[in-house]
Amino acid sequence: MNTEVSIVRCNSYDPEEVKKALSAALEPIGGLDWVTPGMKIAVKVNMMTRIKPERAATTHPQVVFALCELLKERGANVVVGDSPGGLFSSAYLSAVYGGTGMRQVLDAGAALNEDFTTVDVDYPDAVTAKAFPITNYLASADAIIDLCKMKTHGLMAFTGACKNLFGAIPGLNKSEFHYRYNTHEAFANMLVDVCEWCKPRLSLADAIMTMEGNGPSGGTPRFMGAILASFNPHALDLAGAHLMNMPPDDVPTLAAAVKRGLVPARVQDLKVFGDLESFVIPDFQLTPKHDVKLWGTKNETLAKILSGMFASRPRVAREHCTGCAECKKVCPANAISFRDKRAEIDKKKCIRCFCCQEFCPQGIITVQRPPIARLLNKR
């Protein structure tokens, strides 16, 4: 198990500072020496939706630009891509490339992905997802670089390198996955399976501006001033969760990766290059917890009933709803309808996947924990 993580300070998205910091982050773990001329490298960034880089929901284009420059200097063929929540199509991605400022990478000699084909893969070694469709630009690359944005996440608590690779699953297939893997544990195991299948050659995190609170899109940008690098995506996530002052047990993907022996359980067991502790934000605002582990029952039926009673749910601040229907488009359970042109959620139909919370452009859908659950647990 590779436990090395490198972290360096980067105080702004100034082009020179970013490139310098990125090179410095790569240096102690062996840099880009593995990159050879002509190698096809797919850079999987977070372009979750058409949202400006200042909102801190997507990987900042300046970090992507700097990485592309470093890769081009080594003679690699670089393609930058993602498959966000909408259709995996040229028209939709063209709007996302423009909206996120990602077209800037063309000036570094990289390409933006224009291959919208997909392939079905079998993964018999998977714990949960033994077969799934995947975007071809990633499947056909010689190497994948996972360049994530570090943020809170309504469903998975934290999104970093592992969760970023959910964007390897093409477009609307992702909604179906919420139905198929409908517990936190199953969903996290599926994410770890996809991440392990992709086997990113290198994982990097843009944690210069992170997002706290109602992430991954409706939260508040928070300055952290860091770039992280690791050859192990789960090690990078363990370090990242620590920076947000988030216990690793609260991150389902980390818990799943620990169980499989992919990462140590404690951040202290990572080999860190850089002063990790100096980046920790003690009052980082996290999303509410989903589970309540207090009654210790081994009775599964009772546990299910209690967990239903105490479960977090999405809540729409209807007074601020613009009626844009983005939430309805991504809801896999068809649980959203409109009254007086404002969204409302049918609690009985809702499977608590938090896709609506993730994609509401106004950030007015939040994760709500029943008051009694808040009383019983810290978050």
| 218: DSSP letter | S
Torsions phi, psi for 11 (to 5 deg): -85, -10
| 370: DSSP letter | -
Torsion angle of C-alpha atoms 370, 372, 373, 379, degrees rounded to 10: 90
Of 12 and 175, which has the nearer Cβ to ligand SF4?
175
Strand partners, 211: 151, 221
Of 305 and 324, which has the nearer Cβ to ligand SF4?
324
The site that binds ligand SF4 (CB under 6 A) totals a number of residues, namely 26
Of 44 and 289, which has the nearer Cβ to ligand SF4?
289
Contact status: 367 vs ligand SF4 (CB under 6 A): no
| HSE (side-chain half, CA atoms, 13 Å) at 276 | 23
Cα separation, 162 vs 187, whole angstroms: 12
Q: What is the footprint of ligand SF4 within residues 194-223 (CB under 6 A)? A: none
Cα separation, 334 vs 108, whole angstroms: 42
Task: Write down the least CB distance from residue 166 to ligand SF4, Å.
Answer: 15
Of 230 and 366, which has the nearer Cβ to ligand SF4?
366
Please choose, from the candidates 203, 189, 210, 201, the residue with its C-alpha nearest in 3D space to the C-alpha of residue 234.
203
Contact status: 161 vs ligand SF4 (CB under 6 A): no
Task: Write down the least CB distance from residue 85 to ligand SF4, Å.
Answer: 10
Residues 6+ apart with CB under 8 A from 258: 248, 264, 265
Q: Between β-strands 336-339 and 342-345, what pairing exists: parallel, antiparallel or unpaired?
A: antiparallel
Task: Kindly tell me which residue out of 157, 190, 356, 367 binds ligand SF4, with binding defined by CB under 6 A.
Answer: 356
Task: Write down the least CB distance from residue 207 to ligand SF4, Å.
Answer: 27
On whether the CB atoms of residues 313 and 350 are closer than 8 A, the answer is yes
Task: Write down the least CB distance from residue 362 to ligand SF4, Å.
Answer: 4
Contact status: 18 vs ligand SF4 (CB under 6 A): no
Q: What is the footprint of ligand SF4 within residues 289-348 (CB under 6 A)? A: 314, 316, 321-327, 331, 333, 335-336, 343, 345
Of 7 and 327, which has the nearer Cβ to ligand SF4?
327
> The tokens of 112 are what?
């933006």
Task: Write down the least CB distance from residue 177 to ligand SF4, Å.
Answer: 12
Contact status: 354 vs ligand SF4 (CB under 6 A): yes
Task: Write down the least CB distance from residue 368 to ligand SF4, Å.
Answer: 11
Of 115 and 326, which has the nearer Cβ to ligand SF4?
326
> The tokens of 198 are what?
């992709």
Task: Write down the least CB distance from residue 320 to ligand SF4, Å.
Answer: 7
Token pair 């390409």: residue: 111
Of 76 and 355, which has the nearer Cβ to ligand SF4?
355
Torsions phi, psi for 378 (to 5 deg): -65, -40
Torsions phi, psi for 304 (to 5 deg): -65, -45
Contact status: 365 vs ligand SF4 (CB under 6 A): yes
Contact status: 156 vs ligand SF4 (CB under 6 A): no
Cα separation, 339 vs 337, whole angstroms: 7
On whether the CB atoms of residues 168 and 348 are closer than 8 A, the answer is no
Contact status: 352 vs ligand SF4 (CB under 6 A): yes
Contact status: 15 vs ligand SF4 (CB under 6 A): no
Of 16 and 319, which has the nearer Cβ to ligand SF4?
319
Cα separation, 120 vs 132, whole angstroms: 6
Residue numbers of the site for ligand SF4 (CB under 6 A)? Answer: 314, 316, 321-327, 331, 333, 335-336, 343, 345, 350-356, 360, 362, 364-365
